[in-house]
């Protein structure tokens, strides 16, 4: 945010803050060790607000649970903002000194009256007012979120709505106050930092910013196209148009991880050529023309990852990879060699030192210092710099060095897949503690808690549709259908059902989900599918 | 959810593809330009300065910050104090009593792990009374519990060294009594345990019992349990906050138990394994280690430990992979990690098997 994509706070700050808003995140199950820090904060007296359609195991620890309707986050955030402004609790000193476009923002949120927000979100107006006042008056307050915010067609707007709240109250750039996306994979943060985004080169060098691009061109001694590339959803569209005919997939399993599996698979099969480089023969690898077996990056190779508090950490080789499997870096160097470019010996530290030349925020991180300090949090500008505990402290200075932070007004935009008489139930998706994404990794160990895929449903709906625990049903969306056993979950409200993506070989949840994507981030709306539930005929005894 | 109904029905396939988003130029500038640096490196608020406390330990004058424990003062000065139930990432519960010291003017010996220093305190760590007390405590533990794998930190050895240092002779209570049958100790009610008499008196009472193996991830061998409470603390409010286990029963029948003594799969356990991570005696153990020990293939001298980062979520937990014969046999986390404080979740501690798949699951193998 504000030009640097990373969580602003450190984990230790969650232990010493006064208020935590956990928004669209079931961190108790998806980020358990961050939740340890958060619980220490709760035990130290912090108030915890959980904003989530489900009353999750995280929400059970909260002082207040705001069970909003799926996809109404912006309405709720704007309603909170209006309440803060009307109560005279906006931080005018901070707004005047450190931000731009406040008047536009105030005008936008004025339309979000308590009556409207209660109607759009399903959250009682008193609970919204309580959160607004508690957040605005806390000495230190942080907002943490996960995919409940970002797996929507308007993901970026959702994030902006939360950033706006922090600007309205000045809860950013201070110890214990901040904005923290909890990253879902061990190197989501690092991948973005290293330029695995269509508009960026490594080290936040925006490809369309001439000065930043030229920094990389000078180091690499070549010209770089000055326009952004495609994100994943753009690529799928390009496949439909026939503009993209060859694909090189490294460590992804889009056949199972992307929304609307039928469509995804048809698109990938339409390619002239697909290479998959993975540690497993995934469902995607099975339809590839060439499979390059890779070493497991966390235990069979050297390198770094970056976590949700911006800490660059070393991963090390503990095991010899099997057979012909090779380090990703070696494979890429070897491909370059076959294309006529000899980059020399593949070395993780060598690649890292090359990054340090183009990325000012990583410049001070030598392997030796990463080792010595147990990882370093970016930015780290030189070898005497300790790294930074929290970001944007400049916004708390007077005058503010550099650019002021802009309010970006955003409007409520409900989920794309509408609820109708034919599809009256909202299906949302998520993860469980002992499993992970498409289950390729977590399927390898025998968790005593694993029970396979279920359709989690509120006791009220189970009664309404005449369904019993364990009964198999058919779940139908506008795109596909699956059969799955029912499980009652009192944490769900009537009209809301839940499934995971962990058991795609058994229950292909992504036959149901849709590929409505956020035009800014390319993220698909996994969190909001319209479905109906059909009872199966009694099975005929064999 | 009724507000959803305003949107028109989307096409059956092909999804929702709005016009490409174009950021207004002044916003684009903000989001694609380095934001600027603070003039000072951000720091946490300064901690309140603690005044120094001066005390005597073994006749030496020592100054430590206010609020320190006697144990911290001793270790800062290089004075060795044995511990079994203390661990740096847990709140002291002072139950094992091997760290006791003599404080002048105090009627009873004080646990060094939790007693705070006071100005002018006169502490003896090597007096005859301290040595005798530690010796008897060690004898009670070693005569009733299988301490063959006991060590307070990096496993093995320390407990044996303590026995030797204090001249403890666990055999002086007689040969160890035989094991209880499965479930027998759990069935004991309050007041069940009496002083042994007759033939019983010739042997030392023990907590020997069959190993509990009720899941694929870890085993509980309570023959090795000294009731140090570390697992209870790690499962409870010192780390995991799951509260799946507690101490049940009283006196010699006290034991670590799930609610109603149900098996782990029926309990509140979420298999974080943080109890294993803090267990000082090997009572709680990876099933992989348990099986290898049973098969005689567990060989610590052939193991290497490599520090890396968990391959799952984005918290970035530091893992120590214990590897033998190119196979991960155990996962721990360093207690000085600012990310984990030594604690992990089920995926970090047990979720490594996918990498070890060397069969057809992994191409190239």
In a domain? residue B351: yes
Q: Two tokens at A299?
A: 């235990």
Residue B156 is predicted with a pLDDT of 44
- The pTM assigned to this predicted structure is 0.93
Per the CB < 8 A criterion, the answer to whether A310 and A377 are in contact is: yes
Residues B221 and B352 in one domain: yes
Residues B214 and B331 in one domain: yes
Q: A–B: how many Cβ contacts below 8 A? A: 334
Domain termination residue (choose one: B165, B187, B217): B165
Determine whether the interchain pair B21/A520 forms a contact, defined as Cβ–Cβ distance below 8 Å: yes
pLDDT over 60 at B10, yes or no = no
Per the CB < 8 A criterion, the answer to whether B131 and B109 are in contact is: no
Residue B327 is predicted with a pLDDT of 94
Q: Indicate the number of domains in chain B.
A: 2
Residues B241 and B153 in one domain: no
Residues B211 and B337 in one domain: yes
Q: What average pLDDT score do residues A100-108 get? A: 97
Residues B216 and B341 in one domain: yes
Residue A441 is predicted with a pLDDT of 81
Residue A61 is predicted with a pLDDT of 97
Per the CB < 8 A criterion, the answer to whether A100 and A69 are in contact is: no
Residue B114 is predicted with a pLDDT of 94
Q: A302-311, B23-32, B290-299 — which is least confidently predicted?
A: B23-32
In a domain? residue B129: yes
pLDDT band at A261 (very low <50, low <70, confident <90, very high): confident
Domain termination residue (choose one: B100, B133, B165): B165
Residue B353 is predicted with a pLDDT of 87
Local structure of residue A486 (DSSP, 8 states): E
Determine whether the interchain pair A417/B314 forms a contact, defined as Cβ–Cβ distance below 8 Å: no
Q: What is the CATH number of the domain that holds B311?
A: 3.30.70.20
Q: How far apart are CA A474 and CA A486, in angstroms?
A: 10
pLDDT over 70 at B110, yes or no = yes
E-strand ranges in A10-119 read 19-23, 47-51, 64-66, 99-100
In a domain? residue B80: yes
Determine whether the interchain pair B363/A285 forms a contact, defined as Cβ–Cβ distance below 8 Å: yes
Residue A63 is predicted with a pLDDT of 98
pLDDT over 50 at B98, yes or no = yes
Residues B142 and B70 in one domain: yes
pLDDT band at B188 (very low <50, low <70, confident <90, very high): confident
Q: Helix (H, G, I), strand (E, B), or coil: what is residue A334?
A: helix
Cβ of residue B320 closer than 8 Å to a chain A Cβ = no
For residue A95, which of A406, A409, A408, A411 has the smallest C-alpha distance?
Answer: A406
Residues B146 and B219 in one domain: no
Share of chain B above pLDDT 70, in %: 87
Q: What average pLDDT score do residues B278-303 get? A: 95
Long-range contacts of B90-94 (CB under 8 A, 24+ apart): B90/B230, B90/B233, B90/B234, B90/B238, B90/B239, B90/B278, B91/B233, B91/B238, B93/B228, B93/B229, B93/B233
Domain termination residue (choose one: B165, B198, B217): B165
Residues B268 and B351 in one domain: yes
In a domain? residue B365: no
In a domain? residue B228: yes
Residue B7 is predicted with a pLDDT of 42
Per the CB < 8 A criterion, the answer to whether B100 and B111 are in contact is: yes
Residues B345 and B277 in one domain: yes
In a domain? residue B8: no
Q: What is the CATH number of the domain that holds B87?
A: 3.10.20.740
Q: pLDDT tens for residues B58-88?
A: 999 999 999 999 999 999 999 989 999 999 8
Q: How far apart are CA A332 and CA A140, in angstroms?
A: 46
Number of H helices, E strands in chain A: 20, 21
Residues B343 and B236 in one domain: yes
In a domain? residue B237: yes
The residue range of the domain holding B124 is: 52-165
Q: pLDDT tens for residues A500-521?
A: 988 877 888 888 887 777 677 7
Q: What average pLDDT score do residues A429-451 get? A: 85
Residue B152 is predicted with a pLDDT of 53
pLDDT band at A391 (very low <50, low <70, confident <90, very high): very high
Q: What is the ipTM of this complex?
A: 0.94
Q: Tell which B residues from 323 to 352 touch A, by Cβ distance under 8 Å.
A: 323, 326-328, 336-341, 343-348, 350-352
Q: pLDDT tens for residues B191-249?
A: 777 776 777 778 888 999 999 999 999 999 999 999 999 999 999 999 999 999 999 99
Determine whether the interchain pair B33/A11 forms a contact, defined as Cβ–Cβ distance below 8 Å: no
Q: Helix (H, G, I), strand (E, B), or coil: what is residue B108?
A: coil
In a domain? residue B29: no
Local structure of residue A172 (DSSP, 8 states): S
Residues B114 and B236 in one domain: no
Q: pLDDT tens for residues A196-247?
A: 989 899 998 999 999 999 999 999 999 999 999 998 888 999 999 999 999 9
Cβ of residue A377 closer than 8 Å to a chain B Cβ = no
Residues B125 and B220 in one domain: no
């Amino acid at each position: 945010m504000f030009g640097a994509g990373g969580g602003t706070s450190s984990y230790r700050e969650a232990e010493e803050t006064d208020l935590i808003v956990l928004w669209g995140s079931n961190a108790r199950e998806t980020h358990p060790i961050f939740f340890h820090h958060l619980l220490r904060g709760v035990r130290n007296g912090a108030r915890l607000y959980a904003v989530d359609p489900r009353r999750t195991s995280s929400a059970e620890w909260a002082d207040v649970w705001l069970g909003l309707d799926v996809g109404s986050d912006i309405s709720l955030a704007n309603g909170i903002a209006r309440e803060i402004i009307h109560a005279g609790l906006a931080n005018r000193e901070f707004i005047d000194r450190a931000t731009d476009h406040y008047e536009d923002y105030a005008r936008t949120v004025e339309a979000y009256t308590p009556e409207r927000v209660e109607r759009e979100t399903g959250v009682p107006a008193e609970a919204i007012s309580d959160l607004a006042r508690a957040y605005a008056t806390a000495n230190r307050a942080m907002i943490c979120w996960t995919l409940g915010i970002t797996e929507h067609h308007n993901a970026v707007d959702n994030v902006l709505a939360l950033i706006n709240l922090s600007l309205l109250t000045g809860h950013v750039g201070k110890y214990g106050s901040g904005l923290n996306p909890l990253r879902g994979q061990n190197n989501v943060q690092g991948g973005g930092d290293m330029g695995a985004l269509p508009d960026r080169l490594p080290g936040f060098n925006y490809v369309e910013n001439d000065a930043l691009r030229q920094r990389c061109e000078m180091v690499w001694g070549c010209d770089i196209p000055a326009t952004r590339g495609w994100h994943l959803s753009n690529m799928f569209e390009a496949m439909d148009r026939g503009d993209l005919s060859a694909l090189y997939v490294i460590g992804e399993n889009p056949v199972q991880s992307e929304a609307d599996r039928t469509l995804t698979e048809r698109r990938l099969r339409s390619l002239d050529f697909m290479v998959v480089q993975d540690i497993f023969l995934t469902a995607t690898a099975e339809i590839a023309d060439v499979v390059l077996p890779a070493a497991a990056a966390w235990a069979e190779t050297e390198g770094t990852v970056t976590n949700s508090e911006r800490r660059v950490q070393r991963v090390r080789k503990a095991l010899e990879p099997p057979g012909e499997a090779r380090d990703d870096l070696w494979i890429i160097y070897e491909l370059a060699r076959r294309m006529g470019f000899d980059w020399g010996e593949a070395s993780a530290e060598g690649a890292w030192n090359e990054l340090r030349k183009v990325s000012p925020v990583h410049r001070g991180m030598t392997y030796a210092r990463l080792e010595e300090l147990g990882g370093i949090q970016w930015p780290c500008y030189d070898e005497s710099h300790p790294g930074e505990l929290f970001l944007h402290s400049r916004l708390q200075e007077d005058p503010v060095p550099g650019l002021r932070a802009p309010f970006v007004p955003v409007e409520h935009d409900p989920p794309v897949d509408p609820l109708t008489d034919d599809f009256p139930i909202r299906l949302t998706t998520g993860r469980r503690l002992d499993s992970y994404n498409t289950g390729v990794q977590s399927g390898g160990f025998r968790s005593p808690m694993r029970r396979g895929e279920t359709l989690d449903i509120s006791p009220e709906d189970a009664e309404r549709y005449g369904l019993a625990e364990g009964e198999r049903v058919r779940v139908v969306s506008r795109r596909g259908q699956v059969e799955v056993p029912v499980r009652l979950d009192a944490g769900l409200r009537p009209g809301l059902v839940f499934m995971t993506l962990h058991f795609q070989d058994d229950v292909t949840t992504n036959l149901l989900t849709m590929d409505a994507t956020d035009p800014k981030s390319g993220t698909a709306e996994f969190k909001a599918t319209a479905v109906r539930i059909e009872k199966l005929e009694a099975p005929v005894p064999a | 959810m009724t507000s959803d109904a305003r949107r028109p029905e989307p096409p059956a396939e092909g999804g929702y593809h709005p016009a490409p988003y174009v950021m207004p130029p002044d916003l684009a500038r903000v989001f694609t330009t380095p934001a600027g640096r603070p003039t000072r490196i951000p720091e946490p608020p300064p901690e309140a300065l603690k005044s120094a406390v001066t005390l005597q330990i073994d006749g030496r004058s020592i100054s430590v910050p206010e609020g320190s424990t006697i144990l911290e003062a001793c270790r800062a000065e290089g004075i060795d104090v044995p511990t079994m139930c203390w661990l740096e990432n847990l709140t002291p519960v002072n139950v094992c009593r091997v760290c006791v010291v003599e404080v002048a003017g105090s009627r009873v010996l004080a646990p060094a792990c939790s007693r705070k220093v006071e100005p002018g305190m006169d502490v003896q760590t090597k007096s005859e009374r301290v040595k005798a007390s530690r010796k008897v405590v060690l004898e009670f533990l070693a005569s009733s519990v299988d301490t063959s794998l006991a060590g307070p930190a990096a496993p093995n050895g320390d407990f044996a060294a303590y026995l030797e240092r204090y001249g403890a002779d666990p055999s002086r209570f007689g040969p160890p009594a035989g094991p209880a049958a499965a479930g027998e100790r759990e069935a004991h009610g309050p007041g069940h345990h009496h002083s042994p008499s007759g033939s019983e008196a010739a042997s030392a009472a023990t907590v020997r019992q069959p190993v509990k193996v009720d899941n694929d991830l870890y085993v509980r061998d309570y023959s090795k349990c000294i009731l140090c409470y570390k697992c209870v603390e790690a499962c409870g409010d010192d780390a995991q906050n799951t509260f799946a286990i507690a101490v049940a029963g009283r006196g010699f029948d006290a034991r670590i138990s799930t609610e109603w003594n149900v098996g782990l799969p029926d309990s509140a356990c979420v298999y974080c394994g943080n109890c294993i991570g803090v267990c000082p005696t090997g009572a709680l153990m990876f099933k992989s280690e348990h099986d290898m020990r049973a098969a005689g293939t567990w060989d610590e001298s052939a193991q290497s430990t490599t520090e890396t980062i968990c391959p799952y979520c984005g918290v970035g937990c530091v893992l120590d992979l214990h590897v033998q014969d190119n196979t991960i046999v155990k996962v721990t986390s360093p207690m000085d990690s600012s990310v984990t404080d030594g604690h992990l979740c089920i995926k970090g501690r047990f979720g490594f098997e996918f990498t070890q798949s060397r069969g057809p699951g992994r191409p190239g193998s």
